[in-house]
Every structure is written in C-alpha cells, then in structure tokens.
Amino acid sequence: MGLVSLAVGNATTANAAELTIAFEPLSLERATRPDFEENIEESKGDRLDPSEAAKSPIEFFESLRQSPGPAPSDNKPIELQFDLPPVNSPVPPPTAIASPPAPPPVQKTPTASIPIDDSLDSLFAGDSDSLVAKAVGSAEGTRTPQGDRNPAYYGHVDPGNGAWNLGSFSYQHGASSPEEADIKQLRRLRRQAEAMLEKATANGMSLTIEEILNGIDLANQSPRAALEREGYIDWLAKAHAQGMRGADAILWARVHSFIEPTTQQWNAPGLGNSQDRITRDQQRRMWAIWDTIATVQQPVVSSIPKQRNAEEMSDPSSAYPGIDRLFAQPSSTLFTPAAADVSHTSDPESPIVQQILDLDLSVSL
C-alpha cells in the first residue's frame, strides 16, 4: 500500500495536522469482488495484463499514454447520424375520394363560360329565397333542400364557439332578426364569391354551379379555407389537373382546404382537427347542396358541356334510348286485357278504358 502525506492547517498554527491517504495498487484481485463476479466472463476486453499490476499508478498511466492505439479494424467505423427520420405528413397523398354517383363531368374549358356578374346575379337573386340562401342554409341545417325554414333558422347556439346564430347562414355578428342576418351575410358572401371567381378565372378555370355553391358554402363556414393561400380554388385546380371532376373534385378540394399552408397541419379546431371528421362534415354539406340544386330544379346539365347538351337535344333518341324502346313496342305486348266477366254488369266507364287499351303506342319517333 502506498502512502501520501499532506500538511493541513493554518499557516500561523504551529502544529499542522498531517493527513495520510492510503491508496492501493491496481491488481487483478479487484475483479474478483462479489459485485463484479457476474460480469467477469463478459468483460474480456477490460482485463489488465499481469505485468502491469506491479507498476505504480503514475507509471501505469504513463505507459498507457505512450502505448500505440488499437490495431486498425476492417470493420466500418461507427458514424453518428443526426439526420432526423422522415416525418410522415398528416395530409394524405392526393387521391380521389370515393363518393356516390355524381353528375357528368365538366370540361376544363367549356366552349362558352357564363360571365361572373351574370352567374352570381342568378345565384343571389331573391335574397333569403335565393339559391345561395337555400343551398348554404341546407348545409347549415337552418333550411330544408326545398327552402323551408327549420327552427334553427330563428336562432340557435353555435356548437363550436357558443355564439348565438341567426338566419340561413348561422350569422353571429349582430342582427336583430333572421332576415337582417341573411341580408348582411349575403352581402359578405357576394364579395367573397366575386373574389373566388376572379381567382378561378386567373387560373383559367370555369366553374360549374355546383363548384361555385360549394365554394360559397365553404366561405360561409371558414373564409380562410375558401379564400386564402392554398384555399378552395387552389385545391380544386389541383383536383382538375389530376383528372377529378364533379363530386370527387369538390369533396377533395373542400377537405384539403383545411390544411394550414405554413405548418401542413389540419386547421379545423371545430372539427377536432381530425381528417375523418373533416371529410364526413364536408361530404354532408356537399350533398345537402346537391339536394337543394335538384329540388329547386336548377339545370343540373350545367355540369354537362354545352356542345354535348345541344347535340342530345337535337336528337332525342340518343338522349333517351329507354323511352324510345318503350314506345316502339306494340301495345299488345305491354298490356293484355283481362277476359270479360259476363256475370258482371256493364261498367259505364269501360268504353273509356277500352279506348285507352286500343291506343296505338307504336308511333315511330
């Protein structure tokens, strides 16, 4: 055992205490301590050479400093990697969302497009009875597809922020009546629709009535999703570029409009920022608008290219082949009169029925 003596004490004190520290030379016996025994067989690379055990600590560490390093190994050196693993985006890859049958597809550039002012005038005409009010109201739940007013039209609590909503558009910015709320929101939506269509025109797009009304409804629900950068028109253009049309394109654009451009994260706190909830909500609103268009008998053929529509009207047989086949068949194959019941008294209306049965329905079209 080695000894090291140190003088400890105050310089003015005559008797300085002497502290003796004992140290023990390193030896192989330390590896046989009970707490090391279980690791002996696995510590083959850490054992000391017996010739080194008798050296003093200073001599031992000096020999380590002067000894050559380990022999080069053929194994590839370990490298630290600081690259972050790729993070999967919360946004699904652009894929067409399966949906029920939709109207026929629309050409990207129809032969003749409706001027912006004229198309919006027809959609906003009638104020609270306009197609915009009925369609958006149906999506909001304040109106039926036929335009009738639900109890929620006259006032209800917003499920998202607890505000008091009035009118077709669930207006919550101060109005004394549902009718006043409709007038205020119609003015706002008209301006937003003009901005939306101007953006579409700048992108070379001509929108269908269904696409316009869905954009207006999205602006009523979330102006940022509809109008700001990477909004509805931008995503609709991408959908068209990928070949999507009709309901597929509209739903895909509506859902992706809730992606925050700067973070690429969902930004729909009212829907829990959940892709599934956003998709189901947007699909529900889209079909409510579609039902309204069909109910008020707006020309759904607006989604059909004008040139194709004109050709079908000029040749009815090509547009309605089933009706042609129905009326081309002899009446005898369609209607078989029942045998006369001699026991029954004559019915005064039977001659009229017989005249109907004798009609010649095989007129060629």
How large is the average pLDDT for residues 304-320? 40
Pairwise pLDDT comparison (354 vs 146), residue with the higher score: 146
Is the per-residue pLDDT at 20 higher than 90?
no
Q: What percent of the chain has pLDDT over 70?
A: 49
Contact between residue 158 and residue 164 where contact means Cβ atoms under 8 Å apart? yes
Residue 310's pLDDT band, with cuts at 50, 70 and 90, is: very low
* pLDDT number for residue 2: 52
pLDDT tens-digit map of 161-190? 888 999 999 999 988 999 999 999 999 999
How large is the average pLDDT for residues 66-83? 47
Residue 1's pLDDT band, with cuts at 50, 70 and 90, is: low
Is the per-residue pLDDT at 133 higher than 60?
yes
* pLDDT number for residue 211: 96
Is the per-residue pLDDT at 349 higher than 60?
no
Give the start-to-end residue ranges of the domains of the chain.
116-303
* pLDDT number for residue 61: 52
* pLDDT number for residue 162: 85
pLDDT tens-digit map of 81-91? 334 444 444 54
pLDDT tens-digit map of 228-245? 889 999 999 999 999 999
**pTM of this prediction exceeds 0.85:** no
> C-alpha distances in angstroms, 329 versus 59, 359, 362, 364?
117, 12, 6, 10
* pLDDT number for residue 347: 53
Q: Which two tokens stand for residue 353?
A: 């029925």
Q: Which two tokens stand for residue 340?
A: 């006369």
Q: What is the mean pLDDT of the chain?
A: 69
* pLDDT number for residue 350: 53
**Three-state secondary structure along the chain?**
CEEEEEEECCCCCCCCEEEEEEECCCCHHHHHCHHHHHHCCCCHHHCCCHHHCCCCHHHHHHHHHHCCCCCCCCCCCCCCCCCCCCCCCCCCCCCCCCCCCCCCCCCCCCCCCCCHHHHHHHHHCCHHHCHHHHHHHHHHCCECCCCCECHHHHCEECCCCCCEEECCCCECCCCCCHHHHHHHHHHHHHHHHHHHHHHHHHCCCCCCHHHHHHHHHHHHHCHHHHHCCCCHHHHHHHHHHCCCCHHHHHHHHHHHCCECCCCCCECCHHHCCCHHHHHHHHHHHHHHHHHHHHHCCCCHHHHCCHHHHHHHHHCHHHHCHHHHHHHHCCHHHHCCCCCCCCCCCCCCCHHHHHHHHCCCCCCCC
How large is the average pLDDT for residues 266-283? 94
* pLDDT number for residue 49: 46
Q: How many CA atoms lie within 13 A of 141 on its CB side?
A: 11
